[in-house]
Amino acid sequence: MLSILIPTYNYVCVELVRDLQQQAAGLGCPYEILVADDGSEERNKLENRKINRMPFCKYVELQENVGRARIRNILGQQAQYPFLLFIDSDAAVVDDRFLERYWTVKEQAPVVYGGLVHADKLPSKAVSLAYRYEKHAEPRHTVEQRMMHPYSAFRTFNFMVRRDVFLKHLFDESIVRYGHEDTLFGKTLKEEGIEILHIDNPLMNCGLDTNINVLNKTEESLRTLYMHRDKLGDSAGVLNAYGRLRHARLDGWVLSCYRLLFPVLRRNLLGAHPSLLFFGFYKLGYYCSVVCQEEKKEKRDR
């Protein structure tokens, strides 16, 4: 009795749903596939409406964008079966035993995370930053590595959770902008002592953003991080790094360097051969700038 839940935004996921439906039909148990559209453009919705023609599949359209946290909560609340499998719409199935692997371990832990992989070759120079970043991280996300840090390694790209557990620990809907809803969900699971089982059952991440979109989303994510810093605590790496800088009184120096090097950093990160070292400094420097701006606003408002 499995509910496969796919939130989507401006992405056509008909092929993903078709592959999942074919595997689900072979499990020998009741199943459903629910796809919720978070206010996409009409051309994407037009294609995704084909999902309604597939057995036990349903495509639901939200009239407005509600964000990554709330749309997952909506899917979980609408699901009718006791096991929920959340999958991002830009995923692709890489073998015909994907659902079977989840099904065989469903009783072993309340939450199971399968992981993700990326193409062996760079798909396009336009996505070079996202590709380099993700491929560089892959060796740290093997099952063995993830089990060493089960909660910080958790991502919402591809995971199964018991419905009763999920309904007690929904995603925090106060996070309406991009970023960190998965970080906070993982932190909640840790605080509540809810076990995460990590298995080797990846999906392919096919929706890599262009370099400019990576920077835009990174900046939005860092603003989200500042807004929810008290909730996230030490579960976010940038917050930890910034805390050490602030303690050593080096945050002002990093901010000055960031502002001075900003044109160079952007030019590199938007190019064909982006530096991950530059990207790390860009994130830290941008967060320092967010803190500086917000603290100035607070002083003016006093």
d(CA 300, CA 40): 39
Please state, in angstroms and rounded to a whole number, the distance separating the CA atoms of residues 212 and 204.
22
Domain for residue 66, yes or no? Answer: yes
Q: Among 173, 201, 229, where does a domain finish? A: 201
Same domain, 175 and 107: yes
Q: Do both 50 and 160 map to the same domain?
A: yes
109: helix, strand or coil: coil
Q: Is residue 120 part of a domain?
A: no
Read off the DSSP letter of residue 15: H
Q: Please, are residues 33 and 2 in contact by the beta-carbon 8 Å criterion?
A: no
Answer yes or no: is pLDDT of 232 > 80.
Answer: yes
Q: Domain ends where: 141, 169, 201?
A: 201
Same domain? 271 vs 164? no
- Which residue, among 122, 140, 117, has the nearest Cα to 203 in the 3D structure? 117
Write out pLDDT tens, residues 81-94: 999 999 999 999 99
Residues 74 and 176 placed together within one structural domain of the fold: yes
Q: Above pLDDT 70, what percent of the chain?
A: 100
Going by their DSSP bridges, the two strands 83-87 and 2-8 should be labelled as: parallel
CA dist 129 and 210 (Å) reads 8
Whole-angstrom distance, CA of residue 217 vs CA of residue 137: 18
pLDDT digits (tens, 9 = 90+) for 101-133: 999 999 999 999 999 999 999 999 999 999 999
Query: Angle CA(91)–CA(169)–CA(202) in degrees, nearest 5?
Result: 25
- Residue 239 and residue 91 in one domain: no
Q: Domains in the chain: how many in total?
A: 2
Residue 83: CA atoms inside 13 Å, Cβ hemisphere, count? 21
CB 258 within 8 Å of CB 225: no
Residue 162 is part of a domain; what is its CATH number?
3.90.550.10
User: Which residue do the tokens 């106060």 mark?
Assistant: 174
Same domain flag for 72 and 216 = no
Domain check: are 288 and 194 in the same one? no
Q: What is the pLDDT of residue 210?
A: 97
Rg (CA), the chain: 20
**147 domain residue, yes or no:** no
Residue 142 included in any domain? no
Indicate whether 184 and 36 sit together in one domain. yes
Domain of 26, in residue numbers: 2-115+155-201
End-to-end CA distance of the chain: 56
Q: Are residues 285 and 161 in the same domain?
A: no
299 confidence band (pLDDT: 50, 70, 90) = confident
| Same domain assignment for residues 244 and 179 | no
Query: Does residue 224 surpass a pLDDT of 80?
Result: yes
